[in-house]
Amino acid sequence: MAQIGVDVISLGGSPLFQHKGFGSDREIMKEIEEETGIPTITGLTAEVEALRHLHMRRIVIATPFPEEVNIRTADWFTKTGFEVLAIRGLGIDRPAEMAKLPFYVPYRLARELFLKTRGADGIFLACPRWPTIEIIEKLEMDLGVPVVTASQAATWYALRKASVKEPIFGYGRLLHT
């Protein structure tokens, strides 16, 4: 990638970093940046930075994942300073199945979780494999809180690392700040 001149390297796979341990995302970013000279992000780091950027502290998390992944996810976000008030997943462990879900599945799960949980100041939709991009603004309008998705956060953070700050409308508060 360094040879072809990319502006940013983006690494996905939050479960990988959760398995490797807290802080492993930033360690790998640093190693790649030192080796290539190219700004590097991970999806997990982007998610944390996006939540911080929107001043979200007390969050609910909706996922397509099984409970064991949800536990690691909640633990990671707790270690980074967020209060995870609730987390719920669909129990899916195959990425191909996640991608086949209709858009209303993450919408309903996030909405229900938020409405049943008192005190949340935002919603995080983990995993870029399920269809969440088209529901961000709808959830924000319906519930009055910021919504961050894995795909949206990675896009936002990569653009920031590439020094692109032009607002993008139609995909939630994060991309127009």
pLDDT in tens, 62-83: 999 999 999 999 999 999 999 9
**CA nearest 66: which of 87, 84, 85, 81?**
87
The domains found in the chain, sorted by start residue, are 9-176 (3.40.50.12500)
- Counting residues of the chain whose pLDDT is more than 90, the rounded percentage is 81
pTM: 0.92
Task: State the Cα angle at 9 between 6 and 10, rounded to 5°.
Answer: 140
Stretch (H or E) spanning 60: strand 58-63
Q: Which residue has the higher pLDDT, 42 or 14?
A: 42
Mean pLDDT over each residue of the chain, to the nearest integer: 92
The predicted pLDDT at position 36 comes to 92
Indicate the length of the chain as a whole number. 177
